[in-house]
Structure 1
Amino acid sequence: MAGYAKEPTVVSKPGFNAAEDGVALRTAMKGLGTDEQAIIDILTARSNSQRQEIAKFFTQEYGRNIIEDLKSELGGKFEDVILALMTPPVDFMAKQLHKAMSGIGTEEEALVEILCSRDNREVGEIVEAYEELYNRPLAEHLCSETSGDFRRLLTLIVTNCVKQGVRNAQTEVHPERARETAEMLYNAGEGKLGTDEEIFNKILAHECFGQLRLIFEAYKEVSGRTIEQALRDEVSGELKDAMLAIVECVQSPPTFFAKKLRKAMEGAGTDDQTLIRIIVSRSEIDLGNIKRDYERLYDKTLESSVKNETSGDYKRALVALIGGP
């Protein structure tokens, strides 16, 4: 991934005690009414691994499944946030991919956001989790739900990660190869009539993020234009969105996610699924960086935007994860 100091907004709680939290959560859900604020206070201020320990304690101590208890006590978008927090991160992403491909139509944007923004190791873990949860290879499901060059790019990313681990760790960069690869991209697009999407797919899916950063810099020297300008001219539709997502994440994942959050909240209605997915999944990675980029890009805080778009316990839970007042 791009070399930046990651700032999570949720970290492990010092002096954590799973039994203490488990008892407090049981109390919050027992009897008449539910103490939603207690649930928010505990679960938004613990790391995912700590939440898994609380779930284990719940089963051992009460013989109950905390997820089932939470489902029976909560509802709506607030329930969605809390259940997302209680799910191990790779399982949560695998479930989000499955959801994006289930039912009528496919949510291509969700597929792009999840698969094009992550490095080899992260995609590999999601692929494994997917097969374990659904007893079906992710690549096979993607093939049945997408088409054309877009399908080829996504399945290349997924199969590369599993089979050969082609997108190696970002330390394996080869500056001497960057210009040569940039020339290949130029010759496959701007340098000829028509576009050879296969070359673009191969390079963007195979090379690690560190190497891609060097290639994109070299591309400017070769072409006199940025790779984004070239992609906007040379490819279209979902394939263009996927390739631009890779480019943005190579350059700055926080900027990519800040723009995604903005898009989820602008216009009529809110894309709550995307809002929840990004805030929950990035809270332990770089939500602090995303907040800063959001403010820089839109001249308003992420907290204020979320507060305008949400309400009640749902709002309180998201704001707690963002680290707002």
Structure 2
Amino acid sequence: MSYPGYPPSDGYPAFPGYPPTGQESVYPPAGQYTYPAVPGGYPPAGGGTYPAAPPSTGFPGAGYPAPGCYPGAPQAGGMPPYPGGAGFGVPPAGPGFGGYPQPPAQNYAGGGPAQIPGFPGGQAPSPMPGPPAAMVQGTQGTIRAAADFDAGRDAEILRKAMKGFGTDEQAIIDVVANRSNDQRQKIKAAFKTMYGKDLIKDLKSELSGNVEELILALFMPSTYYDAWSLRHAMKGAGTQESVLIEILCTRTNQEIREIVNCYKSEFGRDIEQDIRADTSGHFERLLISMCQGNRDENQTVDYQKAQEDAQRLYQAGEGRLGTDESCFNMVLASRSFPQLKATVEAYSRIANRDLLSSIDREFSGNVERGLKTIVQCALNRPAFFAERLYHSMKGAGTDDSTLIRIVVTRSEIDLVQIKQMFTQMYQKTLATMIASDTSGDYRRLLLAIVGQ
């Protein structure tokens, strides 16, 4: 799968006017991309730092509330009850995940150049802070919290939709597709308070098939849904390795840690032990690394280290007979995503081949797919999910579980960017493909979430 703008033909980020000509020192060029106006300008004089991200961005140290796990054991016939407190919404995507449109690269003003082979003139920019958090984030969901929200009123609407003969599916769709995950938890709590009944059990009795799976997924707290998906991927005979890769190789540190804790408290199992029992070899080691949730999240890009890592990866694969798999695991599992992006760009200069192609040549099977997922997320995470969605609907039949899982889990994070990438990559809209591959209430609810 190719990704727009990658690899850059000259090894630099694909932005107009870069590399700068003459003695220009500021990137991006004037008039192309601008940072929000801040007294004193960017970067702050005296070597200061950019202001902390607001709580809503979810950046480390920025005051984002860390929701705990979700207490309560699963109950027969329904999901466990969850309080609907604030902070149970979907954590925003972590920084530096290659959102679309691509955020501007770092401001290269100031700082002496480091002498690095492979860069024009033997020079590369010194490590500098990244752009402001909000610009790195650059992501947006299709579902946002309803402004005029009343949990009791919504609970009453759902009760009427399911009462008596028949079900008013459109009324249910209108509510669940236009409320945030946090608001859905409050509706669930209000329903039990008002009627003494479990909303999930009532929905299960009224719905069936894919639309049931989709609505139940929407009513699961986001961390629980990821943990539940991982458990079901490893439960029983066979393992759905693609689900393990999709979740464990794309989530932020905070999300991973919450998933691991939730898996333990909800299912009474250790996720590492389940992974060891269901996988093996280098793929097992990669997933265990992912479960630690210890990826470096420093947003400063060290170009010297990127060059060294690129050389290390080349020597571990293309530059030798055989492959040193542990080297690939170490670099791709521990470096920050902005750092990995710089490493990928340096690698293409050293090897005259992009890193995805080299992984294709050096690995096979699930470990190949896992490593490529990490690289794809470093380059452009929405493009990775767009590709997954396309293949879930391509050809005969539909992989409904994958379609549902991605639409639900990205609906409040970056589904807007995923839709844009989908159109750019496949010359058709995501909504068009969903409409042609699904039907009935299932189609209507998916399209309501995706947005037209």
Residue equivalent to 2:313: 185
Amino acid at match of 1:140: Q
TM-score for the superposition, normalised by structure 2: 0.69
Amino acid at match of 2:367: L
1:204-255 deviations in whole A, cap 9, x for unaligned? Answer: 1111212211211221222222111111111111111111111111111111
Residue equivalent to 2:127: none
Measure how far apart 1:170 and its partner are: 4.6
Paired residues of 2:98 and 2:377 also in contact (CA < 8 A): no
Matches within 5 A, 1:146-165: 146-158=279-291, 160-161=292-293, 165=294
The count of aligned residue pairs is: 319
Residue equivalent to 1:2: 97
Residue equivalent to 2:188: 55
Residue equivalent to 1:311: 439
Structure 2 portions without partners, runs of 5+: 1-95, 100-137
CA distance in 2, matches of 1:173, 1:99: 38
Paired residues of 1:170 and 1:209 also in contact (CA < 8 A): no
Among 249, 260, 271, the residue aligned to 2:399 = 271
CA distance in 1, matches of 2:208, 2:421: 32
1:154-187 deviations in whole A, cap 9, x for unaligned? Answer: 11111x31xxx3x132525433311111111111
Measure how far apart 1:31 and its partner are: 1.3
CA distance in 2, matches of 1:253, 1:278: 12
Structure number with higher relative contact order (C-alpha < 8 Å, ≥ 6 residues apart) = 1
CA distance in 2, matches of 1:118, 1:246: 10
Q: Compare CA radii of gyration and give the structure with the larger one.
A: 2
Q: Is the partner of 2:413 in helix, strand or coil?
A: coil
Amino acid at match of 2:245: V
Matched, 1:297 2:425: yes
Paired residues of 1:108 and 1:238 also in contact (CA < 8 A): yes
Paired residues of 1:188 and 1:196 also in contact (CA < 8 A): yes
- The structure with the largest helix share of the pair is 1
Amino acid at match of 2:178: A
Amino acid at match of 1:265: M
TM-score for the superposition, normalised by structure 1: 0.95
Among 340, 365, 378, the residue aligned to 1:212 = 340
Paired residues of 1:119 and 1:208 also in contact (CA < 8 A): no
Among 247, 253, 261, the residue aligned to 2:381 = 253
CA distance in 2, matches of 1:196, 1:154: 17
Measure how far apart 1:119 and its partner are: 2.3
Matched, 1:65 2:65: no
1:262-294 deviations in whole A, cap 9, x for unaligned? Answer: 110011111000000001111111111111111
CA distance in 1, matches of 2:395, 2:180: 33
CA distance in 2, matches of 1:139, 1:172: 31
Matches within 5 A, 1:10-49: 10-49=143-182
Matches within 5 A, 1:94-243: 94-158=227-291, 160-161=292-293, 165=294, 167-243=295-371
Q: Is the partner of 1:191 in helix, strand or coil?
A: coil
Paired residues of 1:254 and 1:289 also in contact (CA < 8 A): yes
Amino acid at match of 2:385: F
Measure how far apart 1:69 and its partner are: 1.0
1:43-99 deviations in whole A, cap 9, x for unaligned? Answer: 000000000011111111111111111111111100001000000011001111111
Paired residues of 1:58 and 1:66 also in contact (CA < 8 A): yes
Paired residues of 2:151 and 2:183 also in contact (CA < 8 A): yes
Matches within 5 A, 1:74-93: 74-93=207-226
Indicate how the Cα distance of structure 1 residues 41 and 123 shifts in structure 2: closer, same or farther if over 3 A, else same: same
CA distance in 2, matches of 1:173, 1:3: 14
Q: Is the partner of 1:252 in helix, strand or coil?
A: helix
Structure 1 portions without partners, runs of 5+: none
Paired residues of 2:282 and 2:367 also in contact (CA < 8 A): yes
What is the root-mean-square deviation in Å for CA atoms of aligned residues? 1.2
Paired residues of 1:115 and 1:123 also in contact (CA < 8 A): yes
